[in-house]
Amino acid sequence: MKKTTLFAVLLALLLFPLCTCAQVTDEEKKDGFIPLFDGKTLDLWRGNPALWSVKDGVILGKTASEGEAKLTYNQFLICKEEFANFVFRTDIKLSKNGNSGFQFRSWEGEKPYSIFGYQSDIDGIHNYTGILYGEGFGGILTERGTESVLGDGPKRISDKRFAEDAELKKDFKIEDWNSYEIIADGFKFTHIINGKTISITNDNGEGTRKAKGLFAIQIHTSAEPMWVELKNLRIKRLP
């Protein structure tokens, strides 16, 4: 059997739009959004099968205290397509002890399914939800409620506050669905959660910034097993 191509999967999603798990609204379709999940398979993704599955129409990432699903390092579910400028939207829910995030314009490490680069962060009790984190790429780059400017490294060289952290955090739900939107337009990255802008990053580091790369979903090491669920994954390429 020939390997399923990304084009074939996307064509199938467009021809058979009745799956309620790959929700792209009619308005979003007209605006250029396409689904990144068909509600049944992980055909558009690659990752450790011991960690990732599809259950009840959602993507489920789950670790364990022993066996193949016990993590010794952070792993990722990696989209088979690379992206440069885009708007990405999804709904995400994770356990209180969970830690996840969305890598973009990133690259693979030496260990299987390891990814490094920009990360739009989210955790179960929302200590870091909405920040821009550099996975193996500078650490915390932009905090919640701020707009930052990055230089080479990447390294934060300035920031200004546009909203209070505590006020933004009030709208975050624990062990329930939160909508997450990432806009990567040029070298300006905006994180929007439940309709509110959470952080803005301007990467002016011409020597280290990334214009294109892998898109991936994180599942993080933790003392106790964790889980993360995702649905309604869709993306729109920008010029």
19 versus 179: which is more confidently predicted? Answer: 179
- Mean per-residue pLDDT, 189-208: 98
Please report which confidence band the pLDDT of residue 23 belongs to, taking 50, 70 and 90 as the band edges.
confident
- Mean per-residue pLDDT, 23-40: 95
> What CA–CA distance (Å, rounded) separates 86 from 112?
26
57 versus 7: which is more confidently predicted? Answer: 57
Asked if pLDDT for residue 216 goes beyond 90, the answer is: yes
With residues binned 3-state (H G I as helix, E B as strand, rest as coil), the percentages for the chain, rounded to 5, are 10, 45, 45
Average pLDDT, the chain: 93
Q: What local confidence, expressed as pLDDT, does residue 19 receive?
A: 41
User: 120 has which bridge partners?
Assistant: 102, 132
The CATH fold assigned to 45-237 is: Jelly Rolls (2.60.120)
Residue 161's alpha-carbon distances to 126, 145, 154, 198, 216, in angstroms, are 19, 6, 20, 11, 28
Among candidates 144, 201, 141, which has minimal Cα distance to 170? 144
Q: To 5 degrees, how large is the angle CA 46–CA 212–CA 204?
A: 140
pLDDT, tens digit, 9 for 90 and up, residues 111-148 = 999 999 999 999 999 999 999 999 999 999 999 999 99
Q: Which residue type does 10 have? A: L
> What CA–CA distance (Å, rounded) separates 38 from 13?
7
Give the pTM.
Answer: 0.90
> What CA–CA distance (Å, rounded) separates 205 from 190?
17
Domain ranges of the chain: 45-237
